[in-house]
Amino acid sequence: MDLREASQQTGLNERTLRRLIKEGKLEATMVGAGPNHHWEISPEALEGLGRTGQADDSSPENARAVPGQKPEQQVCANCQWLRGQVGEMHREIEQLHILLGKSLEQGQRVLPAPQPRRWWWPWG
């Protein structure tokens, strides 16, 4: 099927499908030549895609999707997942600050001490 048919079947935008193909998350074959070339996608390749536009399981929607789950529970699970992601980012930022501080200290040891400025005024 072509991108238009795949878009109608999955509910995803054609641009999203093109991006997934480019990222290697969706298998497709270029068919035709010149102005008639287009992407062909097998129905089997579309099985892993949902209406969320995600091809992998790293998103909160795919990671927390449970059949029969209420929307409120889904939102709560997504919030918990996002809180965990934010906490992980904060830890990484703290580690980067520590590394940056160590690098600055080492750089200051290598640099020569600042010299006092001599002011020179040619008139007077």
Beta carbons within 8 Å of 11's beta carbon, 6+ residues apart? 51
Both tokens of 8, joined, read: 């109608």
Taking alpha carbons only, the member of 61, 66, 58 closest to residue 88 is: 58
pLDDT tens column, 21-33? 888 888 888 888 8
Block residue for tokens 């892993």: 48
pLDDT tens column, 56-97? 445 554 444 556 667 777 788 888 888 888 989 999 999 998
Q: What's residue 67's pLDDT?
A: 61
Alpha-helix residue ranges (DSSP H) falling in the chain: 3-10, 14-23, 43-46, 60-64, 71-110
Supply the pTM of this predicted model.
0.41
